[in-house]
A and B are shown apart, each in its own frame.
Chain A
Amino acid sequence: MNAVLAAEKLGKTFTLHQRGGVQLPVFRGLDLQVTGGECVVLTGRSGSGKSSLLRCLYGNYAPSGGSVRVRHDGAWLDLTTAAPRTVLDVRRRTLGYVSQFLRVIPRVPALDIVAEPLRQLGIAADEARDRATRWLARMNLPERLWRLPPATFSGGEQQRVNIAHGLIAAQPILLLDEPTASLDADNRRVVVETIRVARDRGAAIVGIFHDDEVRRAVVTREFDVERFRL
């Protein structure tokens, strides 16, 4: 299979202007290629830049150098130079992301949060809600919570809403930042199984998993971010 995501000579250094312009180098000269059906697990100590790398790959952080290219609509596209609306289109259809924590939108029920990525693909409200229902059921979220905004949910409940929201659009590239961190063993297993299904249908996955059991269950290749540390 061919690569669908490629970081080339990627570098990230934070400049803290509020702290007299102090520079916090994270990584430099990082090359990573990911193909469909692969689950690349990022390794390295805490603070080694794993999350920063994922955020650069998602276009959420601005790299200090290098490029992040994704296969989108059959062509390569550099996220670091793409217009905002192009990045948003790539995220809708090609590049999914599950963050560590759910960013709650006031007043919006869990069901609508999960259905939203499908609505953005132009899928009708009823069908989007149907599919969101199936995702929440698969994630074992108690049905009484579906129509409530997740602001008051437990960490694990919020994270399951977050995972459903991140995976429902089934983008061909998925970035996962500790998706199982706040889950109990049963729900961890459900998420592991979901990730394996995505991988086996040909998704290219880059993830951070602190739990050894989870990591072993999904990994096809490890990638040590520390090698590119400054």
Chain B
Amino acid sequence: MRTQRESSGEPMSGDASDDPLLSARGVGKRFGARFACRNVSFDLFPGEVLAVVGESGSGKTTLLRLLAARLPCDEGSVLYALRDERGAQRGLTDLTHLSEARRRWLARTDWGFVEQNARDGLRMNVSGGANVGERLMALGSRHYGRLRAEALHWMQRVELDTTRIDDLPATYSGGMQQRLQIARNLVTKPRLVFMDEPTSGLDVSVQARLLDLMRELTEELHLAAIIVTHDLAVARLLAHRMLVMKDGRVIEEGLTDRLLDDPQDPYTQLLVSSVLQP
């Protein structure tokens, strides 16, 4: 016990990195005369898990779509630390300056996006294995054996029954579909995953297992993630830090346990006191 500290290894690499992976700067989006979200600024660092919480209509899903370049910003910009084909980092690039093709490439390689409804994130007319292999094929991989091996590996990694590899996702349960969606996203080893209410459509017992898996994966793969959720327990379990949104604005942000145990803003206090066990 005396020597535990002396014999311990170096802290995980990347944790003390001073270069953000993604930087939101005054991000805003207007639908008609009304701003769905506005003035959102933050830096996200490699391996950092950020939860964006708020009630429906708070603008959190719009924000996620802006950050993931699925919607163009009306105000401000989103910057990302692109890496080139050899994996070298090149500093922050404004996503609006990228060509459409380049943005698609980014979204298919270095990013993942886990949809609330797995059907929106899966191809329902091809097998589970083909779903996992799709990104690799899009990157030019054609070797059947290798694709299948990768699919098996990632199905195992997300604790899916590998004997179901040739079945259509429609035959999977809701929890399995969500796992398949995650595997499909992770196969290219992204550094950042966006998640939109990833567990909210699932039974509670299935939810717990999936959250547990997501916690393990983000830690082991040193994944950065931005998770939109209305469930404070999900934020508590997965996120290092949080943004609380109301009426399109960030009203409080900070370390997850600080924000949940000692909320400062009246609305955050209301949110935290309204749940049974955050």
Does B associate with A? yes
Which residues of A are at the interface with B, using a C-beta cutoff of 8 A?
Answer: 14-18, 55, 59-62, 84-85, 87-89, 92-93, 105-108, 118-124, 131, 168-170, 172, 194, 197, 201
Say whether B45 contacts A85, CB under 8 Å.
yes
A-B contact pairs, 10 of them (CB 8 A): A14-B262, A18-B269, A84-B255, A85-B15, A85-B48, A108-B212, A121-B8, A122-B10, A170-B1, A201-B1
Contact A120 B12 (CB under 8 A): yes
Report A-chain residues with C-beta under 8 Å of the C-beta of B265: 17
Cβ–Cβ contact B15 & A84, under 8 A? no
In the complex with contacts A106-B208, A108-B212, A89-B262 CB distance below 8 A? no
Asked whether A107 and B208 contact (CB < 8 A) given A62-B258, A62-B262, A88-B240, the answer is yes
CA distance A87 to B241 in the complex (A): 11
In the bound complex, residues from chain B placing their C-beta under 8 Å from that of A107 are 208-209, 212
Q: Which residue of A lies closest to B239 (CB)?
A: A84
Chain A residues with Cβ below 8 Å from B256 are: 84
CB distance from B262 to the nearest CB of A (A): 4
Q: Complex: how many Å from CA A202 to CA B159?
A: 44
Given A16-B269, A84-B240, A89:B16 Cβ within 8 A: yes
User: Contact partner of A123 among B9, B13, B262, B269, CB < 8 A?
Assistant: B9
User: Is B261 in contact with chain A by the CB < 8 A criterion?
Assistant: yes
Interchain CB contact under 8 A, A85 and B240: yes
C-alpha gap A159/B181 in the complex (Å): 38
CA distance A17 to B219 in the complex (A): 36
Contact B237 A105 (CB under 8 A): yes
Evaluate whether A131 and B4 lie within 8 angstroms (CB atoms) in the complex, with A55-B261, A84-B254 already known.
yes
- Contact partners of B212 in chain A: CB under 8 A: 105-108
Extra A-B contacts (16), CB below 8 Å, given A15-B264, A107-B212: A17-B266, A17-B269, A18-B270, A55-B262, A60-B261, A62-B258, A88-B255, A89-B15, A105-B215, A107-B208, A122-B9, A122-B11, A122-B13, A123-B8, A170-B1, A201-B1
Q: Closest B-chain residue to A125, C-beta based?
A: B220
In whole angstroms, what is the CA distance A124 to B254 when docked?
30
Q: Which of B212-263 contact A (CB under 8 A)?
A: 212, 215, 219, 237, 240-241, 254-258, 261-262
Contact present for B261 and A197 (CB under 8 Å): no
Q: Which single residue of chain A is at the shortest CB-CB distance from B4?
A: A170
Give CA–CA (A87, B256) in the complex, Å.
Answer: 11
Minimum CB distance partner of A124 in chain B: B9
Residues on A with C-beta less than 8 A from B1 are: 170, 194, 197, 201
* Complex CA distance for A106 and B8, rounded to whole angstroms: 28
**Chain B contacts for A108, CB-based, 8 A:** 212
Query: Roughly how many angstroms separate A66 CA and B264 CA in the complex, as a whole number?
Result: 17
9 tightest Cβ-Cβ pairs between the two chains A and B: A17-B266, A84-B241, A84-B255, A106-B208, A170-B4, A122-B12, A61-B262, A170-B5, A122-B9
Shortest Cβ distance from A58 into chain B, in angstroms? 9
Contacts of A105 in B (CB 8 A): 212, 215, 237
CA distance A194 to B128 in the complex (A): 51
On chain A, the residues within 8 Å of B48 by CB distance are 85
Q: A106 is contacted by which of B211, B262, B264 (Cβ under 8 Å)?
A: B211
Q: A123: shortest Cβ distance to chain B, in Å?
A: 5
Interface flags, B143-184, vs A, CB<8A=1, else 0:
000000000000000000000000000000000000000000
Q: Are A201 and B208 in contact (CB under 8 A)?
A: no
Closest residue of chain A to B254 (Cβ to Cβ) is A84
Residue B97 interfacial (CB < 8 Å): no
**Minimal Cβ-Cβ distance residue in A for B211:** A106
Contact residues in A for B219 (Cβ distance below 8 Å): 119-120
| A85 contacts across to B, CB distance below 8 A | 15, 45, 48, 240-241
Known: A62-B264, A121-B8, A121-B11. A87 touches B255 (CB 8 A): yes
CB-CB < 8 A to B45: which residues of A? 85
